[in-house]
Amino acid sequence: TSRPDAPLAVVGRDVRVPLVTGGEVEYAALDYAASAPCLQRVWDDVSAYLPYYGSVHRGAGYLSQLSTDLYESSRKTVASYLGARADDVVLFTRGTTDSLNLLAAALPAGTRVFVFETEHHAALLPWRRTAEVTHLPAPGSHAEAVATLDAALAAAPADGPRLVCVTGASNVTGELFPVRELAATAHRHGARIVLDAAQLAPHHPVSLTGLDVDWVAFSGHKLYAPFGAGVLAGRGDWLADAEPYLAGGGASKSVTADAVEWNTGSARHEAGSPNVIGAYAIASACRALTEAGLDALAAREDALLARLRAGLADIPEVRTLDLFGPGAARVSVVSFVVEGWNSSRFAAALSAEYGIGVRDGLFCAHPLVRRLLGGRDDAPTECGAPDAPAGEQNLNAIRVSFGAGTPEEHLDRFVGAVRELVRRGAKWTYRTDGGRCVP
């Protein structure tokens, strides 16, 4: 049922939204970094399967067997998409947050985790519950990132298990991290490394073997599949030795009133009825991306990103937030602030007056965004509206992000809207609580 002619076409392109100024306009979805639209191919595959789903690993009926086959073959598709080693495990989770929490729960006792403070909270926080954490300061370049990790690993006691957690592409600046070099550094010191590929996977191939990382985590809803499923893939040994992430059916092999024998393999950490539709949607997205070629997608995005950044650079009031500098390699994610503007009001005006959906906030990466805004990770920013009342100063940034299916016109509309808002101000007054507007 798939449309072989358009593997990277997305659904929802024809959604129209009302403008406060009257009329309506085609919605410009420029918040892919939060959640990308679903590929038409994924929609087709999932729709074709919906009438036939049944319980996975639990039923004797035909549809249950079909669903079990589909679930397990989705696991194989993802394993191959991720260049998994023969003995790696692929676990379906609820998303990147869930994947990293699962790994955190499975760490051997006494593990020390090394993590840059630039991470998304999903990669920053789970370890605090189960491990000793060494926070690495925000690096200013790739070389500094590698040197910082190298020094931290050399300085720390090497007597227990050690894990490095690193993001592939920042959800704030879009900048790539030198994953291969960080992995080599970790391994040279006998540490393991997990890659948060939530933002990398939708734009570049992510290979466990190619990058030589021990685990990788990503979310389906950022990879052009709908919500509800994600992946943790990689080494099986720590996972096999750990207590199941959730206790329940599927994870347990044999249960008596006072004892339980836990399952091995992926079942150990996938208690409860699995999300077969989510897993199948991810596998479908992996197939479509493989077929279209992520390199071709990245080349198109790079050209659009250069155009977008040039457009923003032409507006003196706009300051983009970058860690490694404007020349760094990046995915199509740009965060910025506008001089004299509260970011939440600006984002609300983009939505209400232009039908453009971006994100405002601290993007679940508080230490990084605060640092980029104010120079210190606990700083209020200097770029809020000078007359904004206390509490309404600009503690936020604006993020624009895009990917497959984004037409050039949406990005041009966005840059034009930013320029116009800066020049003439908003037509309406926008409240910052939820972006609702009042005349």
Q: Which residues bind ligand PMP (CB under 6 A)?
A: 95-97, 120, 122-123, 167, 171, 196, 198-199, 219, 230, 364
Cβ proximity to ligand PMP: between 120 and 345 the closer is: 120
Q: Torsion angle, CA of 164/370/319/409, rounded to 10 degrees?
A: 70
Rounded distance between C-alpha atoms, residue 11 and residue 5, angstroms: 15
Radius of gyration of the chain (CA): 23
DSSP 398-423: EEEE--TT--HHHHHHHHHHHHHHHH
Least distance (Å) between residue 133 CB and ligand PMP: 17
Shortest gap between Cβ of 333 and ligand PMP (angstroms)? 9
Nearer to ligand PMP, 225 or 318 (CB): 225
The minimum distance between CB 372 and ligand PMP, in angstroms, equals 15
Please say whether the beta carbons of 39 and 284 come within 8 A. Answer: yes
- What is the Cα–Cα distance from 417 to 355, expressed in whole angstroms? 10
The nearer residue to ligand PMP, 239 or 282, going by C-beta atoms, is 282
Cα separation, 217 vs 208, in Å, equals 10
Q: Of the two residues 285 and 421, which places its CB atom closer to ligand PMP in the complex?
A: 285
Question: 270-309 burial, b if ≥16 CB within 10 A, otherwise e?
Answer: bbeebbbbbbbbbbbbbbbbeebebeebbebbeebbeebb
Closest C-alpha to 82, from 214, 199, 173:
214
Least Å from the CB of residue 272 to ligand PMP: 18
| In the complex, minimum distance from the CB of residue 19 to ligand PMP, in angstroms, rounded to a whole number | 28
Report whether 341 contacts 318 (CB < 8 A).
no
**Residue 38 annotated as catalytic:** no
| 342 Cβ contact partners less than 8 Å away, ≥ 6 residues apart | 384, 385, 388, 392, 393, 394, 396, 432
- Strand intervals (E) in 177-299: 192-196, 215-219, 230-234, 252-255, 260-262
Question: What is the rounded CA–CA span in Å between residue 192 and residue 105?
Answer: 16
Biggest alpha carbon distance in the chain? 72
- Nearest to ligand PMP of 8, 36 (CB atom): 36
Place of tokens 């805004």: 373
User: Which residue pairs from 72-75 have beta carbons closer than 8 angstroms and sit at least 24 positions apart in sequence?
Assistant: 73/283, 74/276, 74/279, 74/280, 74/282, 74/283, 75/266, 75/279
Q: Which residue, 286 or 415, is less far from ligand PMP as judged by CB?
A: 286
Closest to ligand PMP by CB, 122 vs 186, is 122
* Nearest of 25, 94, 14 to residue 416 by alpha carbon: 25
CB of 280 to ligand PMP, least distance (A): 18
Residue 122 Cβ vs ligand PMP, minimum distance, rounded to whole Å = 4
Q: How far is the CB of 438 from ligand PMP (least distance, A)?
A: 30
Rounded Cα–Cα distance for residues 80 and 86 (Å): 10
Encoding tokens for residue 348?
């609300």
Active-site hit among 38, 165, 286, 364: 364
Active site residues: 364
